């Protein structure tokens, strides 16, 4: 695991001190490592790499880094949800709290519309794996992603009218499929909560 400290140092480095795109590449490599590691993940992956990739994703304005960061957190949630939930920073924030911060950033109307095509995958995985643990945040997620979909639709219509391009429509289709998947998982999570409290 000598690779992990190197990846962490790259993600922690100031953007003007490393080549352009290197941070996004480091996150992509970390995603591959997490996806191909049999749980439980090592302490280095959870306690060192996870918080760094979350913070890196939150502080950047580079679309590729944001996208790769979202995919990396999706890998963590998919492979080691319990470990992510148990981890705490010095202020007591859990790993799931960090994931929710990234989700909120990706769904923020001020964030680039290019995030619309892939944010649904992270949200869908989060709801599928941690739906009953999110509580009221489930409603917040659904409202935010529907708002993002409306924003993407508006931008797509404007762009098509401007240069008669079909690419925004393809992007919107990807988002619609993601939202549909999220809504299905949302309803499943609500049903699970109902069954839990009525049993």
**Least confident stretch, 92-96, 156-160, 192-196:** 156-160
pLDDT digits (tens, 9 = 90+) for 12-41: 999 999 999 999 999 999 999 999 999 999
Whether residues 74 and 165 fall in one domain:
no
Where is the domain boundary, 101, 116, 143?
Answer: 101
Residues 6+ away with beta carbon under 8 Å from 142: 182, 183, 186
Question: Do 128 and 197 belong together in one domain?
Answer: yes
Q: Quick one: DSSP state of residue 60?
A: -
CB neighbours of residue 30 within 10 Å: 26
Q: Which of 101, 135, 160 lies at the terminal end of a domain, its last residue?
A: 101
For the chain, the average pLDDT equals: 80
Residues 88, 118 within the same domain? no
Three-state DSSP state, 57: helix
147 lies in the same domain as 65: no
> Do residues 133 and 183 both lie within one domain?
yes
Helix residue ranges, H only, 36-118: 43, 50-59, 63-86, 95-107
pLDDT of residue 31: 98
Question: Are residues 137 and 173 both part of a single domain?
Answer: yes
> Of 83, 101, 119, which residue is a domain's last?
101
Q: What is the distance, to the nearest Å, from the Cα of residue 118 to the centroid of all Cα atoms in its chain?
A: 9
Regarding whether 67 and 115 lie in a shared domain, the answer is no
Tokens of 16: 């003007």
Give the DSSP letter of residue 42: P
Whether residues 96 and 4 share a domain: the answer is yes
pLDDT the model gives residue 9: 97
Please answer whether residues 50 and 84 qualify as being in contact, where contact means their C-beta atoms are separated by less than 8 angstroms.
Answer: yes
Whether residues 147 and 121 fall in one domain: yes
Looking at the 3D structure of the chain, how many domains does it have? 2
What's the confidence (pLDDT) of residue 157? 45
Helix (H, G, I), strand (E, B) or coil at 25: helix
End-to-end CA distance of the chain: give it in Å, rounded. Answer: 45
CA atoms within 13 A of residue 136's CA, in its CB half-sphere = 0
Same domain, 92 and 119: no
Global pTM reads 0.77
Burial of 27 (0-12, 13-18, 19+ CB in 10 A): buried
> Do 94 and 29 belong to one domain?
yes
Q: Are residues 20 and 58 in the same domain?
A: yes
Range of the domain at 161: 108-199
């Amino acid at each position: 695991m000598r690779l992990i400290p190197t990846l962490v140092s790259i993600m922690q480095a100031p953007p003007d001190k490393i080549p352009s795109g290197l941070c996004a590449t480091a996150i992509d490599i970390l995603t591959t490592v997490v996806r191909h590691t049999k749980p439980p993940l090592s302490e280095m992956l959870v306690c060192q790499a996870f918080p760094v990739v979350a913070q890196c994703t939150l502080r950047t304005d580079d679309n590729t880094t944001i996208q790769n960061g979202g995919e990396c957190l999706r890998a963590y949630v998919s492979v080691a949800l319990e470990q992510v939930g148990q981890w705490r920073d010095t202020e007591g924030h859990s790993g799931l709290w960090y994931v929710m911060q990234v989700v909120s950033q990706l769904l923020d109307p001020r964030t680039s519309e290019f995030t619309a095509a892939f944010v649904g995958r992270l949200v869908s995985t989060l709801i599928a794996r941690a739906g009953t643990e999110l509580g009221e945040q489930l409603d917040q997620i659904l409202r935010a992603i529907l708002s993002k979909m409306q924003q993407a639709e508006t931008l797509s219509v404007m762009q098509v009218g401007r240069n008669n391009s079909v690419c925004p429509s393809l992007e919107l289709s990807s988002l619609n499929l993601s939202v549909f998947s999220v809504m299905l998982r949302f309803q499943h999570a609500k049903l699970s909560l109902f069954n839990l409290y009525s049993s």
